[in-house]
Structure 1
Amino acid sequence: MKLEKLDYFQPFIVVVAILAFLLMGYIGSFNYRFEDPLDLEVILTIVFACAVFTIGAFIVKYKINVENTKEINFLSEKLLVGLVIVALILQALNLVLIGGIPLFNSVLKSNATTNIWRVAYPLFLIMINVLLAKYYDRKYLLLVLLGAVIFGLNGYRTSVLGILGSSFITLFYLEKISRKVGIAFIAIIVVGIMAIGYIASQSIATQHWTLNPVELVFYRAAFTLEVFERILPLSGTTHGHILSMIFSSGSPRTFIGQYVLSDNVCLTSTLFGPVCLDFGLIGLTVQMLFMGAFLGMVHKLKKGIGVGIYSIILTHTLIWIETGPTDIMIWFLYLIGFILILINFNYIKLNKD
């Protein structure tokens, strides 16, 4: 099999990304923390989670067949372009109503995820990927870049990664990624994420960072894994409270900051932190088995708009490796994947071999 024919974005890429994040955090724990390096329990728990995820993805890959997929025809090109533009206008309006650019002001950033943004971001994310998947045209890449810039002004790296990462994966499956385009896209993603993270850190008036953009990436990985390390002794003690907050009201990440560090801060706690706090090792096992199987199933439906849907879900699962699955908006994307599975249910067959 030629290298360019490999499916780099199978669900198993999540395991590769998790282990890469663990390595970055372990290196960062030596250079930028004042405590001991990551505990062995952290490493073993993450390796266990990767093994469970792999089992779920493996079962679907080799035991489930999809004979065909149902084409969805009511989404016209004009409708999709119109909705993409509406999303961009909404985010521009959001910036106007906030009163500035959150990327350069930490106070504005704390108020940037308004209800308008909660509509604009998923609308843009879904529609741009479906547009690329159904009606690819090189001119639509300008909309991708414009969206990354406008939503990046909110000061959150995850928005830029979500837009550029999912678009890149969609283009990959459409076989529209040449070597030059691929290198350029990856360079834009890496530089964009590091730049936003660095600029945002410098805009925090109460903190004074001396790390350069590369060092900051390793520091963030180490700190997030340290939060998970502190969660492990507390496993199962919140009894589903974080899960209930995700689907109701409140800020799960702020709650984790208060509960784990006794400080009113918003914390990322890895893909594993929230579920471990709520349900312990059993909850972690169920979550990782579900994610592996679910991504494996949506991966098998990556035809037509399914390409865009899979790209979105995979990208945000990769983002969750650091941030944790605490955003109801992203679980909405999982819901879209579930609807895709239901639409194609009659085409899904169990492999009896």
Structure 2
Amino acid sequence: MKIEKIDFFQPGIIVVAILAFLVMGYIGSFNYRFEDPLKLEVILTVIFACIVFIIGLAIVKYKIDFKQTKEIDFLSERLLIALVVIALLLQTLNLVLIGGIPLFNSVLKSNATTNIWRIAYPLFLIMINILLAKYYDRKYLILVLLGALIFGLNGYRTSVLGILGSSFITLYYLDKISRKVGIAFIALIFLGVMAIGYIASQSIATQHWTLNPLELIFYRAAFTLEVFEKIIPLAGSTHGHILGMIFSSGSPRTFIGEYVLHYTVCLTSTLFGPVYLDFGLVGLTIQMLFMGIFLGLIYKLKKGIGIGIYSIILTHTVIWIETGPTDIMIWFLYLLGLILIVLNLNYINLNKN
């Protein structure tokens, strides 16, 4: 198969990303965190989750198809540009009201995800990808870079990865990625994520890091998988409490830190940790099956604004591999995908053979 014919961003990339994260964590467990490497139970559980995800994809691939897709034309170019600019202005206002740049101050960072940010980030993310998907113009890449910079000042790598990653995938499916642009974009994503993670870690007054930016990535993977390792014996013990916190109030990651490590700390626990702590292996199976089916359906609807929506959801699912699906704001992005599916229900073709 020629490399030009490979679709690098089909939903199966999630499995590749999960396994890559597992390998990075295993390597990191030797060098930076553990006296012993990751337990076999962790590795087998992650592999099991990947298999279930693949089954979900297979169900969609061989049983469900769309005869055509519904065009959505009510979003004009001017409206999309205006909404992108509004989102940038809101985030700028957020930084002003916070009183500084959270990237360089851990105290400010802890208060950076305000209600203004919760509106500004998804608004920018959605509108910039739809703008690229419907009305691509090279000049709009300036808005992408500006957004990555302004939201990156909040000190969270996920914002930069979300903006640059989703925009890259949108451009990929628009066939606007030349070799030079592709290399530059990937380098920018890699360097941006490393730089923000490293700068933010150095700004924590109570911690003193000696790891370089690359070592820090392996350390974070190892630590996150260590948290999941500690969750496995506690399977199902929170009885849906974390799920309830996601869709109500509170901080699920802080709760996980208190429940698992017994001290107040905001923890990432992998894509599998929260659901495993709430519902055990059964919950993990349902979640991964759902994600496989859902991403498989959205992938088949990647036309017009569907390209932008698929790019957003795929990128943030990749991000969840480390952070875990504990943000209601990101579940809102999944809701966009659900709306897209509902709008196209009339075009579904079930393959019964």
State the TM-score bracket (shorter-chain normalisation): over 0.9
The separation in 2 between residues aligned to 1:14 and 1:29, in whole angstroms, is 22
Partner of 1:183: 183
The separation in 2 between residues aligned to 1:4 and 1:124, in whole angstroms, is 31
**Corresponding position: 1:350 with 2:350:** yes
Q: Aligned with 1:11: secondary structure?
A: coil
TM value normalised by structure 1: 0.99
Query: How large is the Cα RMSD of the aligned pairs?
Result: 0.6
The separation in 1 between residues aligned to 2:34 and 2:223, in whole angstroms, is 11
Which shows bigger deviation, 191-200 or 60-69? 60-69
The separation in 1 between residues aligned to 2:233 and 2:34, in whole angstroms, is 20
Deviation of the 1:53 alpha carbon: 0.2
Partner of 1:24: 24
Which shows bigger deviation, 298-307 or 59-68? 59-68
Partner of 1:130: 130
Partner of 1:310: 310
The separation in 2 between residues aligned to 1:349 and 1:84, in whole angstroms, is 36
Partner of 1:95: 95
Q: Aligned with 2:65: secondary structure?
A: strand
How many residues matched?
A: 353
Which one-letter code corresponds to 2:122 in the other structure?
A: P
Q: Aligned with 2:349: secondary structure?
A: strand
Partner of 2:161: 161
The separation in 2 between residues aligned to 1:101 and 1:74, in whole angstroms, is 37
Deviations 1:47-99 (A, max 9, x none): 00000000001110121111111111110000000000000000000000000
Q: Any runs of at least 4 consecutive aligned residues in structure 1 with deviations exceeding 6 A, and if so which?
A: none
Which one-letter code corresponds to 1:84 in the other structure?
A: V
Which shows bigger deviation, 342-351 or 15-24? 342-351
The separation in 1 between residues aligned to 2:140 and 2:121, in whole angstroms, is 17
Deviations 1:301-323 (A, max 9, x none): 00000000000000000000000
Partner of 1:151: 151
The separation in 2 between residues aligned to 1:163 and 1:193, in whole angstroms, is 11
Partner of 2:108: 108
Deviation of the 1:132 alpha carbon: 0.3
Deviations 1:228-274 (A, max 9, x none): 00000000000000000000000000000000000100000000000
Q: Aligned with 2:33: secondary structure?
A: coil
Deviation of the 1:2 alpha carbon: 2.7
Partner of 1:4: 4
The separation in 1 between residues aligned to 2:321 and 2:50, in whole angstroms, is 11
The separation in 1 between residues aligned to 2:130 and 2:68, in whole angstroms, is 19
The separation in 2 between residues aligned to 1:58 and 1:31, in whole angstroms, is 37
The separation in 1 between residues aligned to 2:241 and 2:68, in whole angstroms, is 40
Q: Aligned with 1:189: secondary structure?
A: helix
Unpaired runs of 5+ residues, structure 2, are none
Which one-letter code corresponds to 2:74 in the other structure?
A: F
Partner of 1:285: 285
Which one-letter code corresponds to 2:125 in the other structure?
A: L
Unpaired runs of 5+ residues, structure 1, are none
Partner of 1:324: 324
Cα distance change on mapping 1:55 and 1:34 into 2, 3 Å: closer
TM value normalised by structure 2: 0.99
Which one-letter code corresponds to 2:148 in the other structure?
A: A
> How many percent of aligned residue pairs carry the same amino acid?
82
Q: Aligned with 1:124: secondary structure?
A: helix
Which one-letter code corresponds to 2:266 in the other structure?
A: C
**Corresponding position: 1:79 with 2:82:** no
Which one-letter code corresponds to 2:100 in the other structure?
A: G
Q: Aligned with 1:352: secondary structure?
A: coil
